[in-house]
Amino acid sequence: MKLIDGRAAAADIMSEVSAAAAELRAAGTDPTLAIVVPTRDEATAWYVRSIERAAAKAGVTSRVEHLADPGAEDVTGLLRKLSADPSVHGIICQTPLPDGVSLEEVAAHIDTRKDVDGAGPTSLGRLAAGLPTFAPATAAAVLELLHREQVELAGARAVVVGRSTVVGKPAALLLLNEHATVTVCHSRTSELAEECAEADILVVAVGRPGFIGAEHIKPGAIVIDVGTNPTDDGGLVGDVDPAGARSRAGAYTPVPGGVGPVTTALLLRHTVTAARG
């Protein structure tokens, strides 16, 4: 069983981003990512700080825009303003959002060319149509790791557990665009273990610690664990039980150190790509 090293993959992407950012600066463009933070939330604050640190390291400017107790119009107004601002190249909007407001709804107000986390309906529609667009960074990280492992996707059986708009659905679309045979599972799936155990590639994005065990894993399968579940002692665990993965998988991504760092690096790669125009 091989552990897939997300930190090493992220380091490679970060050096590529640093070089691109330096080139842009030399040509007079300061690549800039705006991060809209609409609510106070500990996990969000932690994630935003980690993006800021990575951006600083890569020479990408990050601009955090806090909104205090906003309504939907405040969020969409800010997203429209940033979309029209030529000094901003990438825009992401953090969740959670105020009650009754969905990310899909507000992200429609991000200019698609700046939608570096593929959150808006146009980005998702383009992804579904197989047109060039920014895919959500987490879903793109899943594919990036599979590519780096040189996993043959065409004709492979892939099972994605989770169908959220930010992870499960776009990961399934990306796999489908690369000719995998894709099954998407969710909370109403009957016989989940049987479905998963058919997978050559198993992608898990549920948000439940240790939810996937040995019985869900086909011997030799590639297992990508997207889950990030905080533990009481301040740590992080995935959705896949590591002992189960070790006993059955051919390769799997640890948590932490798997999909997470690649996600952040890809967000920055998307930002420099957007800045190049």
Ligand X SMILES: NC(=O)c1ccc[n+]([C@@H]2O[C@H](COP(=O)([O-])OP(=O)(O)OC[C@H]3O[C@@H](n4cnc5c(N)ncnc54)[C@H](OP(=O)(O)O)[C@@H]3O)[C@@H](O)[C@H]2O)c1
- Annotated binding-site residues for NADP(+) read 162-164, 228
CB closer to ligand X, 76 vs 164:
164
CB closer to ligand X, 150 vs 187:
187
Q: DSSP assignment, residue 155? A: T
- Dist CA 204 CA 242 (whole Å): 13
Report the amino acid identity of residue 48: V
Site for ligand X in 235-254 (CB under 6 A): none
Site for ligand X in 21-80 (CB under 6 A): none
**How far is the CA of 230 from the CAs of 39, 157, 227, 235, in angstroms?**
19, 30, 10, 6
Residues 6+ apart with CB under 8 A from 240: 204, 210, 211, 212, 223, 225, 227, 252, 255
Q: Which of 76, 123, 228, 273 binds ligand X (CB under 6 A)?
A: 228
Smallest separation (angstroms) from ligand X to the CB of 54: 12
Q: How many C-beta neighbours within 10 Å does residue 188 have? A: 7
CB closer to ligand X, 24 vs 136:
136
SS3 225: strand
Residues 6+ apart with CB under 8 A from 194: none
Smallest separation (angstroms) from ligand X to the CB of 94: 11
Residues 6+ apart with CB under 8 A from 45: 37
CB closer to ligand X, 166 vs 251:
166
Which tokens go with 122? 């146009």
Binding track, positions 137-176, relative to ligand X; x by CB under 6 A: -x----------------------xxxx-xxx--------
HEC profile of 209-222: CCCECHHHCCCCCE
Q: Tell me which residue has its CB nearest to ligand X.
A: 164
Smallest separation (angstroms) from ligand X to the CB of 229: 5
Query: Interacting stretch for ligand X, rule CB under 6 A, among 15-23, 67-75, 126-134, 187-195?
Result: 187-195
- Dist CA 20 CA 14 (whole Å): 10
226 binds ligand X (CB under 6 A): yes
> What's the half-sphere exposure (Cβ side, CA atoms, 13 Å) at 153?
22
Residues in binding site: 162-164, 228
Q: Is 220 left (phi over 0), alpha (psi -120 to 50) or beta?
A: left
Rounded to 5 degrees, φ, ψ at 197 are -70, -5
CB closer to ligand X, 68 vs 231:
231
Site for ligand X in 251-270 (CB under 6 A): 259-260, 263
Q: Which of 9, 78, 205, 240 binds ligand X (CB under 6 A)?
A: 205
Smallest separation (angstroms) from ligand X to the CB of 241: 14
Smallest separation (angstroms) from ligand X to the CB of 212: 10
SS3 23: helix
Tell me which residues touch ligand X (CB under 6 A).
138, 161-164, 166-168, 185-189, 192, 205-207, 226-229, 259-260, 263
